[in-house]
A and B are shown apart, each in its own frame.
Chain A
Amino acid sequence: MAEPGFVRRYLFSLDHKVIGIQYLVLSMFMALCGGAFMVLMRMNLAWPGVKWPLLGALFPHAMQSGIMKPEFYLSLVTMHGTVMIFFVISLALASGIANFIIPLQIGARDMAFPVLNMLSFWTVVPACIVLLSSFAVDGGAPAAGWTAYPPLSAVRTAVPGSLWGQTLWIVAMALFIISFTMGGINFITTILEERAQGMSLFRMPLTIWSYLISSALGLMAFPALFAAVVLLLCDRHFGTSFYLPSGLFFGKKLLPNTGGTPLLWQHLFWFLGHPEVYVLAMPAWGIVLDLFPVFTRRPVFGYRINVYCFYAIAVLSLMVWGHHMYVSGMSPYAGELFSLATLAITIPSAVLGVNMLASLWGGAIRFRLPMMFAIGSLVMFGSGGFGGMFLGNATSDIQLHDTYFVVGHFHLMIGGVTLLATFAALHYWYPRMFGRMMDETLGRIHFWLTFPVFYLIFVLMHFDGLAGMPRRYYSWEKYDFLAGVRGHQVWISLLAFLLGAAQLLFVYNFFHSIRKGRPAEPNPWDATTLEWQPETSQVYRWPYDYSVPGAATDFTPQNTK
């Protein structure tokens, strides 16, 4: 057979490794967009109403004469949130790295359905294009938040972004869900069907376990959002009233709708929205739990218990969506049940956290970059989790709901835990991807500008939230009760710019090292898992045989008898 040409090899490739890297590159591009939106937001929050003539030239409409319009701020919030969750973290961690690593770690040739795999990537590309192009349509990008609550998102005159931008948001989400579903089916089938001889389920690395369970969770949760956006589309364009009750009054006009309820959307959205957090966090935990043994030279602590925790968290996470709705008008009795269910999740989460910590005990810790980022991810997990104790509890959530406490909390969890785990994973598997190492010095600078800075930014936001600072605000100038914390905004913004700039270092390092990096050894981290053992067809042991007494080396690969 002839060598595949460039198009077959790099564009419409069926090779899971190439597709994984395609996902990663796309997610990096989207991260630059999401980061740019963040910079614009933070500029306005630190210096509200200030003129930025250069930006005025760039966005003649949204920043007329250089001053940001409130509706443009809302578009930025919405686009930042949507892009970061669905098109950065999901693409990088739950699609990109999964694609690359699943077949390699279980000793499969490729994904179970390579064509489906290619299709899923090429479905998400148009989703990105559709979403970003919403800046160019009449009314601008969607502005109802990443949660898109109707009627704001359903009535086209409710906010400029709801004119056309919201429709594009719906189309982008639908495409994304289709793509994500194809990916999930592929991951699950591959893990269940394509494992090498001897790779029993309980010999799989925890990374694989986490992808198996989180993919199943995604498949259960995403259909709810798909249904929700289809109904929203109908309400917007075909005169239905799923989310619209009677008596709505816009622009001096009574709308003809009758019979719907805005709460239906909230239930459907959060039925996905909460599990989605775990769809993203679980792979991060799996990766952290797998990297610790490599860089401590000790087996992971509580292997089976961690798997059961994954299961418990996945099941519980489908029953806690109501904690986003304590003050939504939902029945207060439901609020009590959701409180208890939510705090039940802290139990397996705490077990995971303790097991991560305990995995370090007695090790010979090697502070290489993957390890440093994995430790950073653990720190975010701990602190973010403790913030969750406030928000999961209906009583304290009365005060904290929709304040910056929430913004700080979810950034630590779905921002910090997942982002740092992604960096850990990329540094770790880079040599397997490109046969070279990423630059260590640049990497360390990037780590030190990312981990503590990220932590400080979002810890500060927690405290602003305690002071009552509401989120999705264009400015807080009008409120005296916030006089004491308004001053933080400049600090947060400066730190955020530093953080944003540091990410450029990573992108540079990633692309630069493809050609210029130090050539890597075949098993640069002395790891046991199959991706570092060429041509394996038979597995004899679990992946955590480090420092086995009497063994020749301090690691015994899975394919060693």
Chain B
Amino acid sequence: MTNANKGGRAVALAVWLLAAAVVMLAFSRRWLPALASDHGAGVDRMLHFTMLTAGILIVVCHGALGYMLWRFGGRERAGFRPVSERSQRRWSLAAAVFMALVAEGGVLAVGLPVWAQYFGSSAPANALTIEVTAEQFAWNVRYAGPDGVFGRTDPKFYTLDNPVGVDPADPRGRDDIVALNVLHAVAGRPVRIRLRAKDVVHSFFLPNFRVKQDAVPGMTIEFWFTPTREGRFELACAQLCGFGHYEMKGILIVQSPEEFRKWFEEQSRG
């Protein structure tokens, strides 16, 4: 019997130590990238709620498991008292109710309102619209220009000089501003992204903004968010799109209204 228990306490200790490692890692640094968007605070609230509840559950469950291994390891005989059907049902019910509250409750109370704000609402009228057309392995960026209207596009006009296929016959497209891999936006002003893709599925991921959206060929997907502070932020591709996937980097420059206007006018003139 002693032989059978060999290593039992070690397993209990290991279970406790692993839980301790999770907790230590969690507190060892700020893991989330510094926040820079409005709805992102809601996403972070959801993340923190889940971190807290899952964290507590991890500690409690590892603690309980380790305790049982420690206490019941290598006993000569098992306890005789059978567990009644009723108490089995009770425990299961307790687990079910608890999980329903934590998981479904979290979604309903903390998660879905943010989700609805992010996806379910249309952008405010003052939003800046940026069209982003992903291709292997770059982000084509287009602004509507001074007239505020995008020119018509058609894939048949794709060339190296016309990467988003603006129709040359459409006068509204003449003033459109087209750029590569660099987006400009204004702090405090909502941004509406019109996301498209030319070849394969890509994903528009702004880690600091809690923004991620796949760019799907054949679809134009619109969503919006509001940058809350100025700075240069990285844009990464989050959907496998080919051998250059890891290099498909863009930059989002969030500026003050004056700086943005200056940049915009320069581009329109150019």
Contacts and interface: CB of A to CB of B under 8 A. Distances in A.
A364 B119 CA distance: 54
Interface of B: 4-8, 11, 14-15, 17-18, 21-22, 25-26, 29, 31-33, 42-43, 46-47, 50, 53-54, 57-58, 61-62, 64-65, 68-69, 72-83, 88-89, 91-92, 94-96, 98-100, 102-104, 106-108, 110-112, 114-116, 118-120, 135-136, 155-156, 158, 160, 198-201, 203, 205, 207-208, 210-214, 216-219, 221, 234, 236-247, 249
B212 A327 contact: yes
B54 A390 contact: yes
A546 B78 contact: yes
B200 A151 contact: yes
A366 B21 CA distance: 26
B219 A329 contact: yes
Nearest to B155: A247
Interface stretch (A118-126, A476-484, A508-516): A476-484
B201 A399 contact: no
Interface stretch (A21-29, A184-192, A208-216, A448-456): A448-456
Contact of A247 (B47, B217, B245): B217
B75 A365 contact: yes
B217 A262 contact: yes
Contact of B242 (A159, A296, A389, A395): A159
Contacts of B74: 364-367
Contacts of B54: 386-387, 389-390
A463 interface: yes
A544 to B, nearest CB: 10
B162 to A, nearest CB: 12
Contact of B200 (A158, A343, A549): A158
12 contacts: A158-B199, A254-B155, A296-B78, A327-B214, A340-B107, A354-B95, A358-B83, A364-B78, A379-B15, A382-B58, A399-B210, A402-B238
A339 B112 contact: yes
A389 B103 contact: yes
A137 interface: no
A160 B243 contact: yes
Contacts of B210: 398-399
Contacts of A151: 199-201, 217
Most buried by A among B8, B92, B119: B92
A386 B58 contact: yes
Contacts of A298: 78-79
Contacts of A145: 240
A472 interface: yes
B77 to A, nearest CB: 6
A476 B238 CA distance: 12
Contacts of A392: 103
A478 B247 contact: yes
B201 A262 contact: yes
Given A262-B218, A327-B212, A473-B245, 8 more contacts: A302-B88, A336-B116, A347-B104, A365-B73, A401-B238, A466-B47, A467-B33, A474-B245
Contact of B205 (A305, A354, A466, A470): A470
Interface string A347-386: 1111101110110111111111000100100110011001
A546 B80 CA distance: 9
A460 interface: yes
